């Protein structure tokens, strides 16, 4: 299973919580399609501007989920011009980058 539209820091906290740290949860959740803003949905709904983290910071936090939690599927929900996918790819070890 892949989780969608959640910031990497929120995803990380949830998986490290004692309720979700079982081997069954870790086997079932294999990835994240991350949101670039670490805000609650209510805060994002009321925002007049695009809210996103700096691409370098975001890319490193998403890529870090692979090394720390073993996530195999990582992506981002971002504006096409944000550079987020390029940064995330550069943050992964070369052998694990997608083409």
H or E stretch at 89: helix 84-91
Q: What is the pTM of this model?
A: 0.72
Residues paired with residue 31 on neighbouring β-strands, in sequence order: 2, 73
List beta partners, residue 2: 31
Range of the domain at 45: 2-96
* pLDDT computed for residue 72 by the predictor: 86
Task: Tell me whether strands 73-77 and 31-35 are parallel, antiparallel or unpaired.
Answer: parallel
The phi-psi region of residue 48 (left if phi > 0; otherwise alpha if psi is between -120 and 50; otherwise beta) is alpha
Q: Summarize pLDDT for 8-29 with one digit per residue, the tens.
A: 999 999 999 998 888 898 889 9
The tally of domains found in the chain comes to 1
């Amino acid at each position: 299973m892949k989780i969608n539209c959640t910031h990497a820091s929120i995803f990380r906290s949830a998986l490290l919580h004692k309720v979700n740290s079982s081997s069954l949860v870790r086997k079932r959740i294999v990835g994240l399609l991350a949101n670039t803003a670490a805000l609650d949905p209510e805060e994002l709904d009321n925002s007049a501007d695009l809210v996103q983290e700096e691409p370098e910071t975001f890319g490193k936090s998403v890529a870090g989920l692979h090394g720390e939690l073993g996530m195999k599927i990582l992506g981002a929900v971002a504006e096409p011009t944000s550079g987020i996918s390029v940064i995330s790819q550069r943050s992964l070890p070369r052998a694990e980058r997608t083409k």
